[in-house]
């Protein structure tokens, strides 16, 4: 006898799903690292590249451009010779920090919790 298919009791997502909009910002590779490094103070491109080991200049430029287009990062160019560009988090960008912090806390629990221990035990076997 086949099992009866149950209906979901979860509420439907709101129109235009805000969660999808947020994940569209946070979902890219290196995005959370860039946002996190900008949380302390304004940073120039070279400083960010040193702060985030392993990111290529091309990827960093793409992430900064994308975050600027989405209103998460502000870019300001100082009229010096050569021009100096600084990046800062906008108010919207600052609102993402608690979200990233919550993800880090859950990720830490997942790495240290029983799921990670069970995975380690399976690898040893």
The pLDDT tens digits of the residues spanning 34-91 come to 999 999 999 999 999 999 999 999 999 999 999 999 999 999 998 888 888 999 999 9
Q: Dump pLDDT digits (tens) for 92-113.
A: 999 999 999 999 999 999 999 8
CATH number for the domain including 59?
1.10.10.10
How many separate domains does the chain show? 1
* CA 95, 100, 106, 109 torsion-angle sign: negative
Q: What is the pLDDT of residue 42?
A: 95
Do the domain assignments include residue 79? yes
Enclosing domain of residue 44: 28-124
| pLDDT above 70 (res 120) | no
At 8-50, the pLDDT tens digits run 898 887 788 888 888 888 888 899 999 999 999 999 999 999 9
Query: Is 93 a domain residue?
Result: yes
Q: What are 53's two structure tokens?
A: 């080991």
The answer to whether the peptide bond before residue 104 is cis (omega within 30 degrees of 0) is: no
Query: Is-contact 110 118, C-beta < 8 A?
Result: no
Of 104, 85, 87, residue with least CA distance to 26: 104
Contacts 24+ apart (CB under 8 A), 102-111: 103/32
Angle between helices 31-38 and 57-69 (to 10 degrees): 70
């Amino acid at each position: 006898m086949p099992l009866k298919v149950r209906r979901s009791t979860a509420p439907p997502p709101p129109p235009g799903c805000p969660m999808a909009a947020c994940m569209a910002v946070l979902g890219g590779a290196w995005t959370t690292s860039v946002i996190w490094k900008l949380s302390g103070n304004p940073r120039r491109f070279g400083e960010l590249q040193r702060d985030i080991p392993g990111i290529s200049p091309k990827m960093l430029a793409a992430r900064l451009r994308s975050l600027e287009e989405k209103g998460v990062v502000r870019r300001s160019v100082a009229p010096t010779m050569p021009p100096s560009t600084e990046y800062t988090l906008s108010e919207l960008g600052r609102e993402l920090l608690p979200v990233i912090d919550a993800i880090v806390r859950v990720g830490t629990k997942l790495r240290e919790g029983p799921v990670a221990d069970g995975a380690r035990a399976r690898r040893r076997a």
